[in-house]
Amino acid sequence: MMQPVSRRAFLKGTAAAGGTLAASRFLFETLDTVAGADALALGPVEDRVFTTCWIGKQDCGMTARRIDGRVVKFEGMAGHPRNDGTLCPKGQAQIISIYDPNRVKTPLIRTNAKGVSGEWREASWDEALQVVADEVNRVRAEDPSLVLWQKGRSKSEALYDNAFIKALGSSKLGHGAYCSDTGYRALEYTLGLHGVLNPDLLSTRYLLAWGWNITNAGGNKFCWITWPRQMLEAREKGLRIVHIDPRLRAAGPFADQWLPIRPSTDLALALALCNQLIAQGYLDRPYLTRYTNAPYLVGEDGMILKETTGDDQEIALVWDIASGSARPATEAAEPALEGGYDIDGSTYRTAFDLFKEHVNGYTPEWAGEVCGVDASLIRQIASEFGDNARIGATTVIDGVEVPYRPVGIMAYHMAQQELGFQALRAMTMVTMLVGAPGAVGGQLSDSTWKIHKNYAAFEDLAVNDPPYDFMLKGSKYFPINTGFPGMVAKVMQDPARYGVEKLPKVAILHYVNPVLAFPSQPDFLASYTKFEHMTVISPWMSETADLFADVVLPAATIEKYEGPLSAGDGYIDARVLRLPPMDPLFESRGEIDIYLDLAEKIGVLGGEGGYIEHINSELGLTDTSFALPDGARPDVRDIFDRWAKAQGLSGIDYFETNGIWVKGPVPPTSAYGYVTDPPFGGVVHRLYGESLLKAGRLMEEKGAEEIYYQDYLPFPTWRQPTMDSSPEEYDLYLISYKLVEHKQSRTTLIPLLTELSGKQRIDVNPATARRLAISDGDEVVVESHNAVTGETRSLTTVASLTDGIRPDVVGMPHHFGSWSHPASRDLGPTPNEVFFTGEGYMGQTADASFQVKVRIFRRGDRA
Amino acid sequence: MTRRGIVTGGLIVTGLALMVLAYFAGAAPWCNTAVECSNPRLEWSPAIFVVGVIVAFSSALYYSMSKSDKK
Amino acid sequence: MTVAHSRVNEPLPQGVGRLSRRWFLVVGLATAGTAIGVVGWLVEHEQGMVATGMRDVGTMGGATWGLYISMVVYFVGVSFAGITVAALIRLFNLEHLKGVARMAELLTVVALLLGALAIVVDLGQPLRGLVNLFRYARPQSPFFGTFSLVVSGYLFSSLVYLYLTSRPDAARLAAKPSKLQPLYRVWAAGYEDTPDQRARDRRVTFWLALAILPLLIVAHSSLGFVFGLQVGRPGWFGTLQAPAFVVLAGVSGIGHLIVLAALVRRVLHEEHRIGMEVFTWLGRFLMLLLFVYLYFVVVEIFTAIYQPTVNEQRIGDALLTGEYAPVFWGSVAALALPAVGLAWMAVTRRWRIGWMVAFGALVNLGAIGKRFLIVAPSQTHGQLLPYPVGTYTPSLVEYAVVLGLFSLGALLIAGFMKLFPIVEMEEAAP
Amino acid sequence: MTRYAMAVDLNRCQGCRACVEACKIENNTPNAVFWMHVFRLEEGEFPNTKMTFLPRPCQHCNNAPCVKVCPVGARYKREDGLVLTDFDRCIGCRYCEVACPYGVNFFNWRNPEEAWGEYQIPFDDPDLASVTGGAVPPYKNPDHDVRHGPEQRLTSGSAHFKGVMEKCTFCVHRVEQGMLPACVDTCPVQALRFGDVEDEDSPISRFLRDKESFQLLEELGTDPSVVYVGGNPPSSHAREIERPLTGV
């Protein structure tokens, strides 16, 4: 196999290699590094160990090639359902960050004022942890919820961190409000599923890739390796794809049709598609009648007609054609889907009847205007969607007969727009009309059909009076509340305006970088100074840490234990662990170690409701023989060894030798909603959103401004996004997007990736550029305008001309603006500098939007 | 035929011989295997070729500079 | 013998051995220029070729051959003239041109040295180059001809030629008492001015000339092949390259010779032996070559604009109207004006040395320009894959090194002039 | 008799540049040097915009211009079809680079140390050196310090000396160990395939069997060992977008 190279000789060569050597040794033919006979004896030890990618979203399986214990390359883990022996640029490039001395090497304690670039002194772990523990305990004594724990994209199942939050009783902020959470809420509300629309990719025939950056983004479940693999496989079997996006992006070669839609008008398009499916008669009536609230009788007040049973449970009534009377939905023999009926004096119409009327005005011509696309295209897509749905067809999978509706929508981060919640509801309705949810080839959201608790919770939305907590839970502003760091930042700047009395005092930021990663940078700069103490747990000195942290605890990158992680591809179920390919470099520690340290210092490690108890329950070890003993600080490897044993495996060694635990294919009875027991988990799909209407009325009663309640309506209803009321001269839409070379903002700190992705730029359509006298490579100023406050913000970047974008849209990738790593400085600004947040620039469920009206002009020129 | 003539001719012939040898036998303008094509059959044969050139032309030096045999 | 006697106690001719202030000024400048060149090359050797303006073709959007290679082609071109003229003089006994024969031969030797140096400075691993070329050079590479024929054979034969034709003068000088006498004794190597010796010399130089002329055609063609055989570089591939190279070589060489001749005539007051007839002859020769070359240029332009392939057109546009247009038309003008001027003098039979010197200098600028245009555009604009168009601008280091080369040339010639008569001494009547 | 070749499936390539990065790390190429290049090409006017991807490794031509012109035989073709550079013989004349119509050659313009410096990572950091022994880069692959092939030449890896030429080697050091080239091995969507085309049943032979295919710049007669399946040769109107930082 490997030609033997002695380590000594090999290192000597490394030091010697280079031009200086060349001149001296141009005559003789041997490299100093070639092993001599003696070297053969002490050749390097080469081996390969299993681990799991730490950069991307889907935790790909990897093997690490090691020379004398030093990792020299990561490669894909063969047989891993998600990446089967392959790896993306990010997975490859992370190797350099293992060895990057620019990482935080030791615990650091701030020595200068906050709000400016930090000056630090190195501290021992013990000292740093003590400082954090004291701060946390001080505030916990007053009110544990004022300890704010915030995390970015989790690189493991939320296990050790959830346990920590529970043990502390602290408040929690995630990244979801910037990702696709409004889509989650819409689906929880409409179908009861925890996820965003994604199709049964391997069996689908017609796909609306709706704002889905097909080959560059992946989605909320998978990275872009698994889905593109399945997409290509499906395409080779005849899948047709419609790409709905202002930018062509890398979807180019794989989109059969490009619908370059105007940003934030997805709701209008979805409504027009509903209009057409109904008009063209593509309706799965059995599905709508049996599994949705379409047949429910709705009174003039918009409330569903219900009767109270003996055990005063409310049951919705439908019109039973058989008996010609209103009967409980559960008992009706033949519910009417359409029509209006007089029941003791007052008129009731079926929800579906109202829906038909509702979408009646949303014609393709109308939508064509709003979305800036050709009406005939909308008609065509609707009929192709309807045709391919094969309404009524079924197929047999593993002996189970399942409805076959090979059409679907893939929609992710497009959910993050002002009208995102209702847009996602409308898109779901497009699939509902043809009965695609839960069908083979149809609409799914995950590999299994699980009902989330929010479905029930959303039946009755709490709208309380002030005071509110700083996340505005149950407030009159956000009856459905995703927990939006941007909104928290707003609240922290002006608590009184939102009826908030207590602000968070201590923040623990785990691997999150709001200053760079979240829109509306100025809001975070203004609010994060208000924390009395901030601890940052991260491998790098993030920009947020640089400006605001009091203590920085160095976390390891990939060289640590984490898990358990799902390794399934949606069709095959599998689990893995992240195993350290080498020891953590410098003084960094794996997160679990850090949390154990913290729990210990804070004094919540053991005992009733302690960290260990929560770890046990999070891992399902409670009351098993594998449960971690209380009190003693467990060894991290041991934690996962116990978990592995609890799964019936030999222990963690199973993963060390096999890499992955493949559990087998997902059975159709748990994948497809139609054939779960009970079907669709026994929930009624909400075509009609009664509780939204109720909540909206309550909000108005309690004096919330229209901008908050206007979208709390039973049916998705189009209105012009707030940003469109910016003045004429702000004639372009700015959108941000993801590059395949990057993941969030963290990969900006990996020099091998910044080298690959190049410098920041703004995509401009050549026609627009001509109009503005801008040529490729020009420095341009981008000035955004807030239609609500009138505030303007601006940045300077470089124009990049491309025909892959609408003339009225400009786009910027978001992975830029970093200054904390020497190699990522001077690559250009992040668009988050000019985005806004708060009223008009977030969704009704408190989620970020990534669109704003801007004008651009050559630097120096005045527009 | 004078000695001068013989030596001069000899030098020219040797020079040409060296060139031809170095070029066709040593440097090898043609080759059979791919790897062979990347090496002269005989290392330093390009140097020999150059030497050949020099020898050939130095015949001129000899011819005009050598002492005349008679007188 | 008697001949030698009559000249005893006269100073050495043509200012040999006497260092004037003017001479020191020239040599001083030349030395300074050479030093600048050496520094430039040291910088390049230390930093790597990144110190030049050259970069990778395509991926880096640059040109990986630049000014240096242009100068290799140019200098080897210049060497053409000397040896040709010298050879012609011998072959056709053009007695009236004997005055420039030696300086022509000197010019050849110097130019070839500079050409060789230009190759060395262009190598990323010059030391390896010196060894590996002698060790591994492959006939399959067009470079082989350049290296073996041009630099070795051509250079050596020219040296032999220069030496043999200088021996009689060396002998004459060896007869004079002077501090350089020992040198001349060695140089003359026992030369005796006998009819037999003269006869032999005539024979030798005749055959040498005969041997050198084909050699030089082959040599310059092989240099043309370095470019002309490359299918992958639009603008290079073509049968015209080799002949065009030979002709432009003549142009630059004769141009140089005219300048040098005029200089010597002026400085050494050799109006008598470097007479008008020398210039008219050189002028006519240059004119002829210029018209032939301009014909090639016309053909080149016509092919470029008539029905070019997409790739040929990209280069054609860059040359005729694009970023290389100034250099291109500049060079064409630098070649066309002298052609016209010379034609005019030829017709009116009124030759003006001043103008001819200007023309000689001009055609050399034109030649350098054309050499540059052969090398650069086909790399920056000759991409067959969709790489963006590249750019190449020589760096200061490159300019410094080129300045160094020219200065070194001047230095060598100036040095030679103080060691040996650059104009052949008159033969005494037999 | 073995003859290695690579097949590129343009119907599958998604332009992600995983191959580019895998190559970079496997072969330890320094800053701004990407032996594997993936064109991201755009043509046409909005909204009829066409986007295509085109991976471009060294074509390892069977009639390679670079091999022909190399004055010292440093650039040579092996029996198994690999076109390699003996970085211990190369004199840095860059004739191979001007002769190559594919732009696959990378010259060591700088001292490798400086090239690595661009990443602004202090590899000599004592805390790091204690683990890596000061290896540059820290993930340095020892396979490149040994000779390859029956002719035992130094041909694999990058940035050994300034002033010599380098390019894609089809990962000769991996191929000789029976592994696939790094780019092929890592491609997430199997757009790249590699193997022995003389062997009828090798995966690549089976993949190529009765498929439409083309070579880049076929008309030049260079006869590349890289074969493209699906899609068409790049149009002369295609514009390259989103290039990596290749400036020096």
- Cα C280 to Cα C117, C274, C276: the distances in Å are 33, 11, 6
Token pair for residue C134? 């002698």
Contact between chains at A19 and C128 (C-beta distance less than 8 A):
no
Pairing of strands A394-397, A400-403: antiparallel
pLDDT at C202: 86
- Tell me the β-bridge partners of D43: D50
**What DSSP state is assigned to residue C266?**
H
- Closest C-alpha to D73, from C243, C135, A32: C135
Is C204's CB within 8 Å of B54's CB? Answer: no
**Residue C59: half-sphere exposure toward Cβ, Cα within 13 Å:** 26
Tell me the chain C residues in contact with residue B67 when contact means C-beta distances shorter than 8 Å.
190
Look at the alpha carbons of A490, A494, A500, A501 in this order and tell me if their dihedral is positive or negative: positive
Residue C10 sits at φ, ψ, to 5 deg, of -80, 150
Which residues in D lie closer than 8 A to residue C385 (C-beta atoms)? 39, 56, 101-103, 216-217, 234
Chain D CA closest to residue C145: D71
pLDDT band, very low/low/confident/very high, at C220 (cuts 50, 70, 90):
confident
DSSP C221-250: HHHHHHHHT-TTSTTT-STTHHHHHHHHHH
Determine the pLDDT at residue A297: 97
- Alpha-carbon gap: C171 to the closest alpha carbon of chain B (Å): 13
Nearest-CA distance from C296 to chain D in Å?
24
- Give me the residue from B27, B54, B60 closest to C138, CB to CB: B27
At residue D9, the 3 state secondary structure works out as strand
> Does the ipTM surpass 0.95?
no
Band of pLDDT at residue C425, cut at 50, 70 and 90: confident
C56/C124 Cα distance (integer angstroms): 13
What DSSP string runs through D37-87? Answer: EEEEEEES-TTS-EEEEEEE-----TT-HHHHH-TTS-EEE-TTS-EEE-T
**Amino acid symbol at A207:** L
Q: Do chains A and B touch (3 or more CB pairs under 8 A)?
A: no
Q: What is the identity of the amino acid at C402?
A: V
Q: Please judge whether C124 and D103 are an interchain contact, meaning their C-beta atoms are less than 8 angstroms apart.
A: no
- Token pair of A406, please? 């090979």
Q: How far apart, in whole angstroms, are the C-alpha atoms of residue C393 and residue C402?
A: 14
- What gap in Å lies between CA A687 and CA A684, rounded to an integer? 9
Buried b (16+ CB within 10 A) or exposed e, A235-260: beeebbbbbbbbbbbbbbbbbeebbb
CA distance D59 to chain A (A): 22
What 3-state class would DSSP assign to A431?
helix
Put simply, the answer to whether B34 touches D76 (Cβ < 8 Å) is yes
Picking from B23, B43, B68, the nearest residue to C135 by CB comes out as B43
* Best of D3, D67, D76, D147 to mutate (most B CBs within 10 Å, chain B): D76
Are chains A and D in touch, 3+ Cβ pairs below 8 Å? yes
Contact assessment for residue C161 and residue C105, using Cβ atoms and an 8 Å cutoff:
yes
The 10 Å Cβ neighbour count of residue A398 is 9
Beta-bridge partner residues of D75: D85
Chains C and B touch (3+ CB pairs under 8 A): yes
Note the Cα A42 to chain centre separation in Å.
49
Name which of D74, D77, D86 is nearest B34 (Cβ-Cβ): D77
pLDDT band for position D196 (cuts 50, 70, 90): very high
pLDDT of residue A39: 38
Rounded to whole angstroms, the Cα distance separating A56 from A281 reads: 43
Nearest CA to A303 among A739, A771, A690, A581?
A690
In angstroms, the CA A477 to CA A709 distance is: 7
More confident residue, C429 or C178: C178
CA distance readout (Å), D32 to D21, D115, D139, D159 = 12, 8, 17, 12
pLDDT for residue C430 is more than 50: no
- Helix %, strand %, coil % for chain C, to 5? 75, 0, 25
Q: Are C257 and C85 spatial neighbours (Cβ–Cβ below 8 Å)?
A: yes
Contacts of B17 (CB under 8 A, 6+ apart): B52
Instruction: Give the angle subtended at the CA of C11 by the CAs of C9 and C12, to the nearest 5°.
Output: 120
pLDDT along chain A (863 residues), means of 10: 38 37 37 36 79 89 94 96 94 95 97 96 98 97 96 81 95 90 96 94 96 77 86 95 91 91 97 98 97 97 92 92 93 94 94 98 98 97 98 95 96 90 98 98 93 96 96 96 94 96 96 92 95 96 96 96 92 95 95 96 94 95 94 93 97 96 95 96 97 97 96 98 97 94 88 94 97 96 98 97 97 94 92 96 94 96 67
Give the 3-state secondary structure of residue A780.
strand
Packing angle of the helix pair C195-228, B45-65 (nearest 10 deg) = 160
| CB-based contact A334:A245 (threshold 8 Å) | no
> Which residues lie closer than 8 Å to D9 by C-beta, 6 or more apart?
D190, D191, D192, D193, D229, D230
**Whether the Cβ atoms of residue D170 and residue D181 lie closer than 8 Å to each other:** yes
CB A229 to CB D21 under 8 A?
Answer: no
Write down the pLDDT at residue A194.
94
Question: What span, in angstroms and rounded, lies between the C-alpha atoms of D9 and A253?
Answer: 12
Write the single-letter amino acid at C66. Answer: G
Task: Evaluate whether A816 touches A828 at the Cβ level (below 8 Å).
Answer: yes
Torsion of CA A697, A702, A703, A704, to 10 degrees: -70
**Tokens linked to A671:** 């994948």
Query: Is C11 or A743 the better-scoring residue by pLDDT?
Result: A743
The helix-helix angle for C325-348 and C310-320 (nearest 10°) equals: 70
Chains D and B touch (3+ CB pairs under 8 A): yes
Q: How many CB atoms lie within 10 A of CB D237?
A: 12
CA atoms within 13 A of residue A687's CA, in its CB half-sphere = 32
DSSP annotation string for A113-130 = -TTS---EEE--HHHHHH
**Cis ω before A564 (30° cut-off from 0):** yes
Residue A685 DSSP label: B
Query: How do A572-578 and A809-813 pair as beta strands?
Result: unpaired
Give contacts of A26 with chain C, Cβ < 8 Å: 125, 127-128, 131
**Contact indicator for A268, A370 with CB cutoff of 8 Å:** yes
- Please indicate whether, in this complex, the C-beta atoms of D123 and A228 are within 8 angstroms of each other: no
Q: Hey, what are A417's tokens?
A: 């727009």
* Cβ-contact D241, D19 below 8 angstroms: no
How buried is residue C337: exposed, middle or buried, by Cβ count under 10 Å (0-12/13-18/19+)?
middle
Give the closest of D125, D177, D187 to A1, CB-based. D177
Q: Give yes or no for a contact between A198 and A449, defined as CB atoms under 8 angstroms apart.
A: no
pLDDT at residue A43, as a whole number: 62
Residue of A20, A21, A27, A756 to mutate when probing chain C, most C C-beta within 10 A: A27
| Residue pair A486/A523 in contact by the 8 Å Cβ criterion | yes
Distance in angstroms (rounded) separating the CA atoms of residues A176 and A403 = 33
Residue by residue, DSSP assigns D178-225 as: T---HHHHH-TT--EEEEESSSTTSHHHHHHTT--EE-TTGGGT---S
CB spacing of C386 vs D238 below 8 angstroms: yes
**A499 close to A477: Cβ distance less than 8 angstroms:** no
Q: How confident is the model at residue C229 (pLDDT cuts 50, 70, 90)?
A: confident
Task: Give which of D28, D45, D46, D180 to mutate to test A binding, by max A Cβ within 10 Å.
Answer: D46
- Whether A714 and A296 have beta carbons less than 8 Å apart is answered as no
pLDDT confidence of residue A12: 38
